[in-house]
Homo-oligomer: A and B are copies of this chain.
Amino acid sequence: MQETLAEWRPAVDAAIADVLPREVDAAYLESYFGEPTFEYDPESIQRALVDPIWDLLDRGGKRWRAVLFLVFVEAFGEKPEDYLPYATIPEILHNGTIIVDDVEDEAESRRGEPALHHRFGQDIALNAGNAMYFLPLKIITNDPGDLPESQRLAAYEMLMHELNRTHLGQGMDICWHNEREVRATREQYLEMCACKTGCLGRIVARLAAIVTDQSAAVERHAAEYAETVAVAFQIGDDVLDVEHSLGRAGDFGKAFGNDIREGKKTLLVLHAIEESDPADAERLADIIAAEENTDEEITEALRIIEDAGSIEYAKDRARALSEEALAHVDALDIDPGATEQLRSFAEFVVERDV
């Protein structure tokens, strides 16, 4: 999978630059956004939109959403090259959500550099992030693949559906984060992951199915594969944070238990609170709710999670989701090479951790 990612990246970046060049002028603005009523100011658009967007894009990122889209297109028997502009849609959307999330979370840094709102100011960063929610959606209108009306409409209806659920997921996450009490069920936590991260995966898969005109069943299996992998990935991340912390807790001066310090109500925490005896459950809930924790308290919380069997529980759940994802791949009925790529992508995402 790493090779496929590295191989496609230059072509994906070139396709993004076709949508939004690194240097814009009046001619580009007219061609992409239509004739101005009066007169565009390309210099302002360069400074307020193009520079911040490329500043983030040039910091890296594996472009895996674009590449997974291309893998799907190939699996569906079409030439990925013919659909490159569409591959940029989930990629630009994703990077837009990063900018907005970083403002919402008051993040300091992103990919080793200051978060965009620290470098460009909150107003420019936010407007650029929001512009990235709409910029790529116009690709469907420009219709590089010469699609019939029904496919373009299907793409828009799908995008509106998934982008709505993305905001539901972010809403749930923020709401829990702002509350001291632990209130969510495990299934609600997984729903938050499915909406917040899974829906962008669903966009990748469904868009590939729509532009290549697949059946509803194929679109559904592809979407569920991508969503399920995304949820498994999030659980894997949560497990990693606890496992690394257990290993590192003895090392002097090293930060550990970051999720607990942040008060994150992960699947492991929710499981441990439900499964521990009342005293341990209450203690864990208190540590999660506290504004500040000592290293001793973090160690205590980690032990409660470990003793409750929450690590194994979360690993089992991630493994089950991974198997579910692979069953959706099998149901796709695509050629063995493509099946292998989607299987290895799921394993690459999940096995790395759990």
Contact = CB atoms under 8 A, between A and B. Distances in A.
B128 A171 contact: yes
A157 B159 CA distance: 13
Contacts of A263: none
Given A49-B171, A194-B37, A135 B153 contact: no
A302 interface: no
A209 interface: no
Contacts of A40: 168, 188, 191
A289 interface: no
Interface in A168-218: 168, 170-172, 174-178, 183-185, 187-188, 190-192, 194, 198
A161 interface: yes
A195 B251 CA distance: 56
A165 B38 CA distance: 13
Interface string A56-76: 000000000000000000000
Contacts of A138: 160-161, 164
Contact of A153 (B44, B153, B178): B153
B187 A38 contact: yes
Given A156-B153, A168-B33, A174-B124, A38 B194 contact: yes
Nearest to A49: B171
Contacts of A133: 130, 133
Contacts of A134: 160, 163-164, 167
A104 B127 contact: yes
How often does this chain occur in the complex, in copies?
A: 2
A273 interface: no
A165 B126 contact: no
A131 interface: yes
A130 to B, nearest CB: 6
Contact of A168 (B49, B167, B191): B49
Interface string A325-342: 000000000000000000
A175 B37 contact: no
A21 interface: no
Contacts of A29: 168
B187 A39 contact: yes
A63 to B, nearest CB: 23
A152 B155 CA distance: 12
Given A100-B126, A191-B41, A131 B171 contact: yes
Nearest to A50: B171
A174 B123 contact: yes
Interface string A39-59: 111011101110000000000
A281 to B, nearest CB: 20
A108 to B, nearest CB: 15
Nearest to A150: B149
A167 to B, nearest CB: 4
A141 B160 contact: yes
Given A104-B123, A157-B141, A45 B172 contact: yes
13 contacts: A29-B168, A38-B190, A39-B187, A39-B191, A41-B188, A43-B175, A44-B172, A48-B175, A121-B178, A124-B175, A134-B163, A135-B164, A153-B153
